[in-house]
Amino acid sequence: MSIKIQNISKSFGSFKALDDIHIHIKTGELVALLGPSGSGKTTLLRIIAGLEAADQGSILFGNEDITHIRTKERKVGFVFQHYALFRHMSVFDNVAYGLKVRPRKSRPSKKEIEERVYELLRLVKLEAYANRYPTQLSGGQRQRVALARALAVEPKVLLLDEPFGALDAKVRKDLRRWLRRLHDNFQITSIFVTHDQEEALDVADRVVIMNEGRIEQIGSPEEVYDHPNSPFVYDFLGNVNLFRGRLHKGKLHQGNFQIDAPEFSDAENKTAIGYVRPHDISIEKEENSKDGVSAVIKHIHVVGPIVHLELKRNDTEEYLEAELTKDLYNNLQLKTGEKVFVKPKQLRVFIPEDYTI
Amino acid sequence: MAGYIPMQQTNPPLESSRSTTEPRLVRFFLIAIVIVFLSLFLVLPLIAIFVKAFDKGIDVYFASIRHPDALAAIKLTLIVALIIVPLNAIFGIAAAWLVSKFDFKGKNILITIIDLPFAVSPVIAGLVFVLLFGTHGFLGPWLFEHDIKIIFAVPGIVLATLFVTLPFVARELIPLMQAQGSAEEEASFTLGANGWKTFLFVTLPKIKWGLLYGVILCNARSIGEFGAVSVVSGHIRGLTNTMPLHIEILYNEYQFSAAFAVASLMSILAIVTLVVKNFIEWKTKTNK
Ligand SMILES: Nc1ncnc2c1ncn2[C@@H]1O[C@H](COP(=O)(O)OP(=O)(O)OP(=O)(O)O)[C@@H](O)[C@H]1O
Ligand SMILES: [Mg+2]
């Protein structure tokens, strides 16, 4: 089922938690809501589920306007940020709950319920835990019970609020792969909230980046990572080097750098900032081109196949971060304290008047 | 027995660490003081009640209890408790639900008003009802015209007791439900349950021990209430006398053994209440 979120706004008192949100989500899509803490992700999810009322705007499931329909009729699966398992019920009863509370007419028989619950517990690999209580489970297990409980009612829309928030990195990674497969098998439209950018880029079909109640950018993981449309998104998705300089007739002047910025060919003497990702900085031992700038390697640390360099520029005394592959690093035979020449391979210029971070 | 007012459920005591333990001598003194106090003001009187009750022999004891006026008083007391406790449970749940799950203006004022009966003397509470419903009261003439008796009748006793016991269940449940939040209820709604089923299957099991605790205290107070009931009852023997009023009358008539026989009955009720209360406290602790 497709979801249309149309100019949704929500205030708590005088505080604007959501400001004119538009998102269209296609059937079967897995969308990540990404943003810093307090950016309104949970609030948006709660509005979609009907747990919170929007001040204005409307929500459509398919072609049906469900803005004023109560939560219980919306048929969404909701996995809460803090699980919200029924603590006085066993795992089995938690998962069975949604089926047991159905009105008599549509309620499956006891046997059918049992089959369905065990099927789901198998799916989340918790069959052996059916009789345990939530307090007797680990965080990851609780999370999976919450997921099984939400899936039991066969929702058309699945909303997950930081489903892997409290878990360690390894389990997180396993579970999000598993969620991706699950999503593909069940043909559900899913929205999941996270403030982990890697997680969002890893599993989502599309990423919605939120900041202070507004949407900054929507796009595929590749789009938002490679072509951020604002300094905020640049900053939020991964590390970035800032080149604060002067923009004049399509060139950014900064220290000894003169970098082409053709999209600003009519700019006249404006302050501007260039954004460069660490892996878009090229390192050379000899001065091959005249737009390279000399720098000294201050630190080298190797994490798996990636080598992180911390450099200090000789012209402006500013620090830079660069990343290169281990192969390249070995070829160059770099050492701490060595003088090299750096050059941005790709850079994006923003004029600060338009944006503030 | 009923003068005990819990403002909040007591938390399990923190285990005292070595550094905070008092020196032995201080501890010994504190224990001694507490024991002396308890025996002087609680245990001794309790024993005295039973000694006095059986003063004139077991026959007099049972005769006093089986006296028609005594039986009527016992019956009335139990009827009042039977009416008060469910009403209070319903009010308490409703008030706690309102306060803990909704945000509205004047919430703090509401909580304060719920506490009012704790602050007002029961005698004044009784007088308020006399002022409202008495013959010369605000609604008196209208009630008289329609032949409805409230003051010096059972409805007055129920009203006065209700006023005095109003905070018990609500006071017990408000902090409990506030602490529990509404996440589980929200989960229930998303799973398609309606409000009633959510209350029955999710909320009620979470609060049942707190609710029972409040009910026990409310029950104890409604059985033992003297001041407010005394004002509105009219002390009509066999009709509007509750157990505490009956005891007072017997006592004023120098029928000490009879008075203490009924008093011993109330004490037994109180002890049973305490035992149940402790069982519930133990149960809530193990449930956590
Ligand atoms: N019931 C409420 N009353 C008042 N303010 C609220 C309420 N709920 C949320 N807010 C505010 O709205 C803003 C957005 O909250 P929200 O929970 O949606 O953030 P979030 O993006 O989910 O953050 P996190 O990543 O920390 O979970 C926050 O500043 C929060 O303080
Ligand atoms: Mg949140």
pLDDT of A166: 65
Contacts of B278 (CB under 8 A, 6+ apart): none
Mean pLDDT of A196-220: 91
> What tens digit of pLDDT does each residue of B192-215 get?
999 899 999 999 999 988 998 899
Q: Are residues B107 and B200 in the same domain?
A: yes
Tell me the residues of B at the A interface, defined by beta carbons under 8 Å apart.
Answer: 183-184, 186-194, 197, 201-202, 205-206
Q: Are residues B27 and B156 in the same domain?
A: no
d(CA B205, CA B185): 12
Contact A75 B194 (CB under 8 A): no
d(CA B84, CA B155): 11
Mutate to test the interface with B, among A75, A86, A94, A133 (most CBs of B within 10 A): A86
Q: Are residues B75 and B187 in the same domain?
A: yes
Contacts of A174 (CB under 8 A, 6+ apart): none
Instruction: Look at strands A348-350 and A15-25 and give their pairing.
Output: unpaired
- The CATH number of whichever domain residue B218 belongs to comes to 1.10.3720.10
Distance A197 CA to ligand 2 centre (A): 15
pLDDT of A353: 66
Q: Give the single-character DSSP code of A59.
A: E
The alpha carbon torsion through B109, B113, B116, B117 (nearest 10 deg) reads -160
A132: left (phi over 0), alpha (psi -120 to 50) or beta: beta
Contact A49 B190 (CB under 8 A): yes
Distance A11 CA to ligand 1 centre (A): 10
Residue scoring higher pLDDT (A179 or A67): A67
Contact B187 A75 (CB under 8 A): no
> What tens digit of pLDDT does each residue of A114-133 get?
999 999 999 888 999 999 99
- AA identity, residue B178: Q
> What tens digit of pLDDT does each residue of A38-90 get?
999 999 999 999 999 999 999 999 999 999 999 999 999 999 988 899 999 99
Domain architecture of chain A: domains with CATH: 3-236 (3.40.50.300), 239-354 (2.40.50.100)
Please say which residue of B36, B54, B72 terminates a domain: B54
Q: Are residues B42 and B180 in the same domain?
A: no
DSSP output for B113-140? HHHHHHHS-HHHHHHHHHHHHSTTSSSH
Distance B179 CA to ligand 2 centre (A): 19
Q: Which ligand is nearest to the CA of A195?
A: 1
Supply B182's token pair: 């509404």
d(CA A339, CA A284): 9
Q: Which helix (H) or strand (E) holds A329?
A: helix A326-332
Q: Are residues B212 and B246 in the same domain?
A: yes
pLDDT of A205: 93
Q: What sign does the CA torsion over A37, A39, A41, A46 have?
A: positive
pLDDT of A5: 95
Closest-CA distance, B187 to chain A, in angstroms, reads 7
Q: Are residues B153 and B139 in the same domain?
A: yes
Residue scoring higher pLDDT (A99 or A181): A99
pLDDT of A49: 94
Q: Are residues B251 and B207 in the same domain?
A: yes
Domain annotation covers residue B256: yes
* Structure confidence at residue A354 as a pLDDT band (50, 70, 90): low
Residue of B nearest to A93 (CA): B201
Domain annotation covers residue B277: yes
- AA identity, residue B48: A
Distance B143 CA to ligand 2 centre (A): 58
Residues constituting chain A: 357
Residue of A nearest to B184 (CA): A84
Q: Are residues B176 and B106 in the same domain?
A: yes
Contact B191, A71 (CB under 8 A): no
Domain annotation covers residue B97: yes
Q: Is the pLDDT of residue A245 over 90?
A: no
Q: Which ligand is nearest to the CA of A12?
A: 1
Q: Are residues B68 and B49 in the same domain?
A: no
pLDDT of B153: 86
- Tracing tokens 């520029």 back to the chain, one arrives at A313
pLDDT of B33: 94
CB-CB neighbours of B265 under 10 Å:
20
Mutate to test the interface with A, among B184, B191, B201, B286 (most CBs of A within 10 A): B191
Q: In this complex, which of A77, A84, A98 lies closest to B186 when CB atoms are compared? A: A84
pLDDT of B235: 82
Distance A41 CA to ligand 2 centre (A): 6
Q: In this complex, which of A50, A80, A88 lies closest to B205 when CB atoms are compared? A: A88
Q: Please state the separation of Cα A300 from the chain's center in Å.
A: 29
d(CA A290, CA A272): 22
* Structure confidence at residue B10 as a pLDDT band (50, 70, 90): very low
Closest-CA distance, A218 to chain B, in angstroms, reads 27
Contact A118, A130 (CB under 8 A): yes
> Atom 4 of ligand 1 has which residue's CA nearest to it?
A12
Q: Are residues B162 and B253 in the same domain?
A: yes
Mean pLDDT of A299-314: 90
Q: Are residues B135 and B116 in the same domain?
A: yes
Q: Is the pLDDT of residue B92 over 90?
A: yes
Q: Give the single-character DSSP code of A280.
A: G
Q: Which helix (H) or strand (E) holds A343?
A: strand A339-344
Q: Is the pLDDT of residue B233 over 50?
A: yes
Provide the domain count of chain B: 2
Contact A9, A18 (CB under 8 A): yes
Is A127 exposed, middle or buried (CB count within 10 Å of its CB: 0-12, 13-18, 19+)?
Answer: middle
Instruction: Look at strands A56-61 and A64-65 and give their pairing.
Output: antiparallel
Q: A39, A210, A211, A214: which to mutate for ligand 1, most atoms within 8 A of CB?
A: A39
> What tens digit of pLDDT does each residue of A141-163 get?
898 899 999 999 989 899 999 88
Domain annotation covers residue B1: no
Highest mean pLDDT among A14-23, A242-251, A255-264: A14-23
**Lowest mean pLDDT segment, chosen from A97-106, A162-171, A297-306, B68-77:** A162-171
Q: Are residues B50 and B63 in the same domain?
A: no
d(CA A55, CA A11): 7
Q: What sign does the CA torsion over A311, A313, A318, A320 have?
A: negative
Domain annotation covers residue B6: no
Task: Report the percent of chain B where pLDDT is more than 90.
Answer: 35
Contact A157, A135 (CB under 8 A): no
d(CA A261, CA A279): 19
Q: Which helix (H) or strand (E) holds B98?
A: helix B68-101
d(CA B282, CA B78): 27
Instruction: Look at strands A206-211 and A30-34 and give their pairing.
Output: parallel
Chain mean pLDDT for chain A: 89
Domain annotation covers residue B28: yes
Domain annotation covers residue B10: no
Domain annotation covers residue B7: no
pLDDT of A288: 73
d(CA B75, CA B259): 17
Q: A10, A33, A42, A214: which to mutate for ligand 1, most atoms within 8 A of CB?
A: A42
- AA identity, residue B202: V
> How far is it between the farthest Cα atoms of chain B?
72
Please say which residue of B54, B75, B95 terminates a domain: B54
Q: What sign does the CA torsion over A41, A45, A50, A54 have?
A: positive
Q: Which residue range forms the structural domain that includes residue B31? A: 23-54
